[in-house]
Copies of this chain bind each other. A is one copy, B any other.
Amino acid sequence: MADQHVASKSERTKDRILDAAARTFREVGYTAASLRDIAEEAGMQAGSLYYHFESKEQLAEEVMTVGVDGSYATILSAMDDLSDTASTLDKLEAAFSAHLSYLLDQSDYAVAILRMLHQTPKPLRERILVRQRTFGQFFGQLLEQAQKEEAIKPGLDLSSLRMLVFGAMNWTPEWYTTPGLSPAELATQLRRMIER
């Protein structure tokens, strides 16, 4: 039969380890998360992790890479779901909503990044930041276009606005609980804050 790419045993185990690592890193950060904790969460011994990963640092890098790429993919996918008549502000709100939903409902990976980044070795941190840049530029372009169309409030500095909005979103895992506004509703709030 055709060599269809079904996840091999090893690949599934690796994913299980990544999930366990993301949960653990999210909870306690990079330094405080021990490989013994992560291994237990994945149902194995600490030494066994080294069959799948070279080091703790590499394991952390894969978790963070999945988180960044997943965030970006979620947003791009949300753009595809928009109707052709969507305004730039609609696009922005959809991007907010996708990112918030990813942070709050879907992924330990993205939140793990926020809690880990400052504790990781500098070269690793730099690589993740480079990956995040694409992500940030995407929002930057949308904001720029919205400003050209005079769809957002006058008198706002674009690069500051972008970072303030990022902060508002990235901080939500610190306080978000259910019941309360949903990620989509929070996205609407953010839209109202920037629109003219």
| Chain B residue contacts of A192, Cβ below 8 A | 153, 155-156
| Chain B residue contacts of A168, Cβ below 8 A | 164-165, 167-168, 171
- Which residues of A line the B interface, CB within 8 A? 27-32, 115, 118-119, 153, 155-157, 159-161, 163-172, 174-175, 180-181, 185-186, 189-190, 192-194
Report the separation of the CA atoms of residues A192 and B156 in the bound assembly, to the nearest whole angstrom: 7
**B118, A28: Cβ atoms under 8 Å?**
yes
Q: Is chain A's binding surface mostly helix, strand, loop or mixed?
A: helix
Question: A29-B29, A155-B192 are known contacts. Are A170 and B167 too (CB-CB below 8 A)?
Answer: yes
Report the separation of the CA atoms of residues A192 and B30 in the bound assembly, to the nearest whole angstrom: 37
| Chain B residue contacts of A29, Cβ below 8 A | 29, 31, 118-119
Given contacts A28-B118, A166-B175, 15 further A-B contacts (CB under 8 A): A27-B118, A28-B119, A153-B192, A159-B180, A160-B181, A161-B189, A161-B193, A163-B171, A164-B193, A167-B167, A167-B168, A167-B169, A167-B170, A167-B174, A171-B171
| Chain B residue contacts of A27, Cβ below 8 A | 118
Q: Which residue of the partner chain B has the closest CB to A29?
A: B119
Q: Which residue of the partner chain B has the closest CB to A169?
A: B167
